[in-house]
Amino acid sequence: MTLDIITSDALSPLTHGFFTRKGGASSGVYAGLNCGTGSKDQAELVQINRDRVAQAMGVGKDQLCGVYQVHSPDVVVLDSPIEGDKPHADAVVTATPGLALTILTADCQPILFADPSAGVIGAAHAGWKGAITGVIDATVAAMVKLGATPEGITAVIGPTISRDAYEVGPEFQDTFIAQDPGHDRFFTPGKGDRVQFDLPAFGLHCLNAAGVDRAHWVGHCTYSDPERFYSYRRSCHREEPDYGRLISAIRL
């Protein structure tokens, strides 16, 4: 089956993609292109899926470079494929051609970065916790150390949970407002004491604050489109035993 890959003209001509769940070998709740090695899916099927992604990216399977994501602001700088255990971090950057930087998500924001003129790329996993603690700013800073400039960077937020599907409690909102009262604008009233959080709008705010003006969200909500995307929150609401992980990738 043909893979379904969302791309952005803004990242052209670099090879990149926000891969949907279509075109994979997994079945059941993982049906499709589950690339999550941390899921309970059959390991051999996950590897088949990852091999298909590597082929689509034009690299060997060892050149798919990801990290052990922990909702942190930590960034890893790579100049060669990762050997052994994956480092605990939530973003990767490189100036080395041939490496495909990858991020796994299932509602959180996958963000792909590129400064083509400087030959520097990045990929970040930015859920609410990573975003509020600085993973986006840290990714930009790491790229700058490799020769990029904030004004030269383009960043694209891939499929993520949208405001209409992201209901949270007042204590969640309080965490953001305690950091900056202006963060109140990313919340809208919900039912009762609940509020709706606009994660991609917050991600764009963080990108702009880091000096990246060329940034946008592709506009796809993971929660509301089960045919194309995995969603952690949707799996919880459906009381499913586990969920698949989407992969996003970029290479020089």
* pLDDT beyond 70 at 166: yes
Assigned token pair, 147: 């020769």
* pLDDT beyond 80 at 244: yes
- Mean pLDDT calculated for residue range 84-97: 96
Confidence of residue 181 (pLDDT cuts 50, 70, 90): very high
pTM: 0.97
What pLDDT, on a 0 to 100 scale, did the predictor assign at position 94?
98
Q: What is the CATH number of domain 5-162+198-251?
A: 3.60.140.10
Write out pLDDT tens, residues 26-64: 999 999 999 999 999 999 999 999 999 999 999 999 999
Q: What is the mean pLDDT of the chain?
A: 97
Percentage with pLDDT > 90 across the chain: 98
Tell me the sheet residues that pair with 196.
167, 188
Question: What does the domain layout of the chain look like in residue ranges?
Answer: 5-162+198-251
- Strand arrangement of the beta sheet that strand 100-105 belongs to: 5-6, 15-19, 246-251, 100-105, 64-65
Q: How far apart are the first and last CA of the chain?
A: 26
The rounded distance, in Å, linking the Cα atoms of 18 and 110 is 8
Please, are residues 26 and 46 in contact by the beta-carbon 8 Å criterion? yes
Assigned token pair, 93: 């950057």
